[in-house]
Amino acid sequence: MQGLIAFLERYFLPLAAKIGGQKHLVALRDAFIGTIPATMAGSVAVMLNALLRDLPPQFFDGYDGNSIPVIKQIIAINGYVWSGTLAVAGLIFVFSWGYNIAKAYGVDPLSGGIVSTAASLAGITFSFSGGISGLNLDAATVDAINAAGWSATSEGITAAGWGWLPLNNLDANLFFTGMIIGFVATMIFVKLMLRNITIKLPDSVPPAISKAFASIIPATAALYVVAIFYFVFSKIVPDMTFLQWLQKTVAQPLLGLSQGFGAVVLVALFVQLFWFFGIHGPNVLAPILEGVFGVAQLENVNLFQQGGADLVISKGYMWVRGSFDAYAWYGGSGGTIVLIVALLLFSKRKDYRTVANLSVGPGIFNINEPIMFGLPIVLNPMMFIPFLLAPVVSVSIGYWATMWGLVNPVSQQVTWVTPPFLLSFLATGADWRAPLVTLVAMLASFAIWIPFVMAANKMDPDLGHEDKIATDIGHDTKSI
């Protein structure tokens, strides 16, 4: 292990320092970190609702938290917190992204955040429409539907509305699109500001007003460039937004993946790769995870109800959607609960340990936004290799343990916020061996994370100070 740490210190850390000191990557890192107040509050809300609403039905038949006084009010309050945080995490991020880009270039950061947010929102659909025919409606029903603002006849209904922003366009799905559009729009704004293509007011005007007026021309130009792009894109691809197109073009080529070991590993690898670049991997790969592995899981559930685990083993699928959660995504995508433990035991960096302490509670319930965006793992070169490698090793352990009959296949739908060990136990129909497989996978991941956590102790928290890092590495190399 000392040899691996020395290798990372000598060759990997200097490269990571140079990449980490790059202006735009620093801005992106800070943009993710800036979302922590919201993501942490949302994680607490989800965690509380997991304890009060989602987990008890796994143990008590007929339990319904939404019908119990006091508890249902707490659940409702947590729902409001979630709606304003994780439900719109992408929207919060794009503002932070634009803010930090503008700040890096020394121009008005507030205006940069506004430009990034406006540009990203401009490409989201604001309307919906749909219809149904072949009906036989009476006159009173037709009148009631028409009075509500939709269009109806005795034979059918046409529903349409405007002013609707779908939440699945504002959550983590917006991150990747926001990175691209927000970056382009904010950079146009920044460049025009730096060239002084602005409205200049007399010195007697209050600074706040001067800043606002100075931003008008650059912001307008940036937003019009983005609007023209959206317009042209809509003519070329008329049936979907740019956000939808990105998801489709990334996800669709992977639709053929199935039960083979290579396919399972490839899915796990791509989920991690997407997450490293700030893209919600499970959402991007939902056509595969839900459309292929999810369907397989439903089949296993039905077989288990008919004949128990034996029927699942003989006629069901060996690897399904819940298998990833049981054996690789403990603590969230990437198995980050293991990283949290490694940081608490081996990290000497105050910033890392602080984030790890804050992430323990949410991590137990597989909520890893605090560690993903707070450490951050996203676009952190030091974390790239273990973040990709550890889940692949974990998936391999779980896959072959299932294939070799060492543990029953996943055959139950278990809510994703169920803590590790308990999740795999319940998902396999109460197979006591499943938590042991999870433990082996976690120990393997732990061994992978340790050298990188220890190597990160040598990296200055301020990634821009490359000379200090190089000096530290040189001193330590001599001692080794």
State the virtual CA torsion across 256, 257, 259, 260 in degrees, nearest 10. 110
pLDDT top residue among 110 and 32: 110
**Given pLDDT bands bounded at 50, 70 and 90, which one contains residue 283?**
low
Q: Which of 27, 189, 216 is nearest to 116 (CA)?
A: 189
Give the pTM: 0.64
Predicted pLDDT of residue 286: 63
What number is the average pLDDT over the span 134-147?
A: 77
234 Cβ contact partners less than 8 Å away, ≥ 6 residues apart: none
The predicted-structure confidence for 430-452, as pLDDT tens digits, reads as follows 788 999 999 999 999 999 988 88
- Residue 287 pLDDT more than 70? no
- Residue 254 pLDDT more than 60? no
Q: What is the token pair recorded at 74?
A: 């707490």
Q: What is the token pair recorded at 346?
A: 């081996």
What number is the average pLDDT over the span 25-49?
A: 78
**Cα 371 to chain center, whole Å?**
11
413 in Cβ contact with 318 (< 8 Å): no
- Residue 310 pLDDT more than 90? no
**Given pLDDT bands bounded at 50, 70 and 90, which one contains residue 256?**
very low
pLDDT top residue among 338 and 283: 338
DSSP string, 250-310: HHGGGTT--SSHHHHHHHHHHHHHHHHTT--HHHHTHHHIIIIIIHHHHHHHHHHHHHHHH
What number is the average pLDDT over the span 102-111?
A: 93
Predicted pLDDT of residue 23: 82
What number is the average pLDDT over the span 233-253?
A: 77
pLDDT top residue among 286 and 466: 286
94 in Cβ contact with 174 (< 8 Å): yes
**Given pLDDT bands bounded at 50, 70 and 90, which one contains residue 8?**
low
Q: Which of 392, 174, 439 is nearest to 272 (CA)?
A: 392
Give 52's DSSP letter: I
Predicted pLDDT of residue 95: 95
- Residue 473 pLDDT more than 50? no
27 in Cβ contact with 104 (< 8 Å): yes
* 419-430 exposure pattern, b = at least 16 Cβ within 10 A, e = fewer: ebbbbbbbbbbe
Other beta carbons less than 10 A from residue 114's beta carbon? 20
